[in-house]
Structure 1
Amino acid sequence: MVGIVSAQTTVDDETRAHEIARGAVEARLAAGVHVDARMTSFYWWKDAVQHEREYRISFTTTADRAAALREWVHARHPYEVPQWMVLPVADASQEYLAWVVKETTAR
């Protein structure tokens, strides 16, 4: 059985977030993408605690498409070291799983 995952990254520009989200769906690397409302992130960078207003982008895809999605996102990502996390989906309806597989299959 094919598994689905949620992959996440962040960017500091809303337009860029929308471009990445739409592009991933158009490329059939993700069945759906959420761009979350602006948030504030705190993190270590260059030996100091930084903070930035960012947008989280969450991609729904299959486990076997996650690596291709990562490469695609990183090629378009504005950060030197993009956040990239892939979280397994523990449970999903068969209908939703079938939809994700269908929409991430190249045509």
Structure 2
Amino acid sequence: MTTVESQEQAVRLAQGIVESRLGAGVQIIGPIRSLYWWQGDLQDSQEWQILIKTTVEHYAALEAHIKANHHYVTPEIIATPIVEGSSDYLRWISQETSRPDVSQ
């Protein structure tokens, strides 16, 4: 999961993730309101949340992709394990992230 400051950035980042097969699918949720501390000041901003479906094998490459294509100095990048899920859906994630990168 990550967040960005605009819908356009969310779409651009999500498209790059899916096209490069680092995620089988991405959901963009927003706008959301985020309150957080940044450099000693309380921030209150509008953001878009990006939820990425991927495998543990792709995490490092996905994190690198997000960092390279993100506008924030310290982007939120959080991974949560899938402890249960439909076997068909989990198989789909594995299959789609195993296919060749279509952007090459």
Q: Which TM-score applies when normalising by structure 1?
A: 0.90
**Aligned-residue RMSD, C-alpha:** 0.8
Correspondences of 1:29-40 after superposition (within 5 Å):
29-40=22-33
CA distance in 2, matches of 1:53, 1:18: 16
- Name the counterpart of 2:87: 94
Amino acid at match of 1:9: T
- Name the counterpart of 2:5: 12
Structure 1 unaligned runs (5+)? 1-7
Alignment partner of 1:71 is 2:67: no
User: Which 4+ residue blocks in structure 1 deviate beyond 3 angstroms?
Assistant: none
CA distance in 2, matches of 1:44, 1:53: 14
- Name the counterpart of 1:25: 18
TM-superposed CA distance for 1:17, in Å, is 0.3
CA distance in 1, matches of 2:99, 2:86: 22
Higher alpha-carbon deviation: 78-87 or 89-98: 89-98
Alignment size in residue pairs: 100
Q: Which TM-score applies when normalising by structure 2?
A: 0.93
3-state SS in 2 of match to 1:30: coil
Amino acid at match of 2:30: A
TM-superposed CA distance for 1:94, in Å, is 1.3
Q: Return the structure number with greater strand share.
A: 1
Q: Percent identical across equivalent pairs?
A: 36
Structure 2 unaligned runs (5+)? none
